[in-house]
Homo-oligomer: A and B are copies of this chain.
Amino acid sequence: MNKNSEPSERTDVQKYPDELTQKMKITLDKNDFSAWYNAIIELAGLSDKRYPIKGMNVWLPYGWKLMTNIDKLIRDEMTRTNHEEVCFPVLIPKTEFQKEADHIKGFDAQVYWVTQGGETELDIPLLLRPTSETAMYPMFALWIRSHADLPLKNYQIVNVFRYETKQTRSFIRVRELHFFEAHTCHTDFEDAERQIQEDLEIMKNISKKLCLAYLPNKRPDWDKFAGAVYSIGIDCLMPSGKCLQLASIHQYKENFSKAYNIVYESETGEHKHVHQTTYGMSERLIGAVIGVHGDTKGLILPPELAPYQVVIVPIFSKGENAKILEECHKLQDELLANGIRVHLDERDIRPGNKYYDWELKGMPIRLELGPKDIKAKQVTVVPRDTGKRVQLRVDNLSEQLKQILAEFAERLYEKSKNLLESSINSPKTLDDAKDKFGILKAGWCGDIGCIEQIEKYLDVSMLGTPIENVKFKGECLVCGKPTEIFGYFSKTY
């Protein structure tokens, strides 16, 4: 296009059906959240759910870019902590899958089975991995010989498959799931426990970059991962008032290593089973970023995730366009040189349409530069979340923008933290707890019957108990017995 052309009618901004843009404008309360969430995914071009298999969606270019940006944040943490990336086959023989009894019980109802290759019926049916324990562990048994091979810290970022019978929802409950899974082997329980502490630290780093606050919960025994000794769930509160599990961390002890015969020779020559852990996250991270940060104008992306942190929009004025563009290019070069991801939007459409586009896509900062700004040696800056225009002097602009980006990220994180913390309720009775928004914190006597009453009466699930020792003195919400234990409960995705 002609860089110096005057602004003309909007031509290349796609026009969306009114019905969709209307849905976006619905207030973000818990009743309308679902319609808003679906509309924003369609409008921002993240995922297309019209693929002819229910719950298997197509990643559109912008959605895939955000997902791979999250993958990059994960890979950076994995490299920092000396995990090595591998890639295992999608298919697992039934015979390997069946070796750990609890595991197969947990997944049997939701695996896809491959029974035929070409015209040939397969001797041993193969399943599409729902998770990769049973693919990896026969190989770990071959790879691990001695204590010098430990710890083994592997991970992969792949798609996994679950034959879901519940209602599907983009990024939150799907049948083909973009998945991160780390699998580690250790000499003993203590080293495996250290790994779990490292996983929690990684989780903290990643969620800080995504500006998401969360509650870590030790899942109740009946809800732990199939084959685990215990499971930690990382729960995030969505504006709907429901919790979304972002990640899970599992302690397996020797459950799998005994089933798969993963044995090492210790320094003293004994043969011992390894202790194992896993850490999993998925495309739900995108679901949380959309849901927790977004507003009625579209996505709001954390600066660490956004493809561009700053978008420059030239404000043209008859006769001055060449000069304005020249200044924009200078600005772009300066910000790039200072490590800011910046894009100059030179499209031949009205500035207002550009604002609409970049707001929908969630870029953190819009920077406008027009003839008045140039005269005054300033730029106009508009953070996506506040929408408040600010004029900045051009001197030392990169440093000022970095500061604004840091504050922007902090605001997003604080908003998420406030939503979470202000939504934890501690009612005195079951009736007081009825239909409360968010998370229920309730004393619990230790009797499973009382949990069942809470879950049934309030239509919630137990998230679990805190992973760290927290002092508590209270009564069981159901039977009133004094107790020092409490649990968290909520509706969940």
Chain B contacts of A142 at CB under 8 A? 48, 50
Contact A117 B112 (CB under 8 A): yes
Give residues 245-281 of A contacting B (CB, 8 Å): none
Contact B61 A85 (CB under 8 A): yes
What string of 1s and 0s marks CB contacts (under 8 Å) between A343-377 and chain B?
Answer: 00000000000000000000000000000000000
Alpha-carbon distance A109/B118, docked complex (angstroms): 4
Given A65-B85, A93-B53, verify A113-B116 contact (CB < 8 Å).
yes
A476 within 8 A of B: no
Contact B176 A56 (CB under 8 A): no
Q: How far is the CB of A301 from chain B (nearest CB, A)?
A: 18
Q: How far is the CB of A145 from chain B (nearest CB, A)?
A: 10
Chain B contacts of A109 at CB under 8 A? 118-119
A58 within 8 A of B: yes
Give residues 153-196 of A contacting B (CB, 8 Å): 154, 159, 161, 163, 165, 176, 178
Chain B contacts of A52 at CB under 8 A? 93, 95-96, 138
Contact B53 A89 (CB under 8 A): yes
Selected from B86, B90, B139, the residue in CB contact (under 8 A) with A90 is B90
Chain B contacts of A85 at CB under 8 A? 61, 64-65, 68
Q: How far is the CB of A315 from chain B (nearest CB, A)?
A: 26
Chain B contacts of A84 at CB under 8 A? 61
Chain B contacts of A60 at CB under 8 A? 86
Contact B86 A114 (CB under 8 A): no
The quantity of this chain's copies bound in the complex is: 2
Given A113-B117, A118-B109, A128-B114, verify A176-B89 contact (CB < 8 Å).
yes
Q: How far is the CB of A168 from chain B (nearest CB, A)?
A: 12
Alpha-carbon distance A142/B86, docked complex (angstroms): 36
Give residues 71-116 of A contacting B (CB, 8 Å): 84-91, 93, 95-96, 108-116
Alpha-carbon distance A84/B12, docked complex (angstroms): 17
Chain B contacts of A165 at CB under 8 A? 118
Alpha-carbon distance A90/B55, docked complex (angstroms): 12
Q: How far is the CB of A139 from chain B (nearest CB, A)?
A: 6
Alpha-carbon distance A115/B116, docked complex (angstroms): 8
Selected from B48, B88, B110, B115, the residue in CB contact (under 8 A) with A58 is B88
A222 within 8 A of B: no
A321 within 8 A of B: no
Chain B contacts of A96 at CB under 8 A? 52
Chain B contacts of A148 at CB under 8 A? 12
Contact B138 A90 (CB under 8 A): no
Alpha-carbon distance A286/B413, docked complex (angstroms): 43
A59 within 8 A of B: yes
Alpha-carbon distance A458/B11, docked complex (angstroms): 60
Alpha-carbon distance A117/B119, docked complex (angstroms): 20
Alpha-carbon distance A138/B48, docked complex (angstroms): 12
Alpha-carbon distance A111/B117, docked complex (angstroms): 6
Chain B contacts of A126 at CB under 8 A? 53, 112
A51 within 8 A of B: yes
A57 within 8 A of B: yes
20 residue pairs A–B, Cβ–Cβ below 8 Å: A12-B148, A48-B139, A52-B95, A52-B138, A56-B91, A58-B139, A59-B86, A61-B84, A90-B90, A109-B119, A110-B117, A110-B118, A112-B114, A112-B117, A113-B114, A114-B114, A115-B115, A115-B116, A117-B163, A120-B163
Q: Which 4 A-B pairs have the closest CB atoms?
A: A117-B163, A59-B87, A56-B89, A61-B84
Chain A residues packing against B (C-beta within 8 Å):
12, 48, 50-53, 56-61, 64-65, 67-68, 84-91, 93, 95-96, 108-120, 126, 128, 135, 138-139, 142, 148, 154, 159, 161, 163, 165, 176, 178
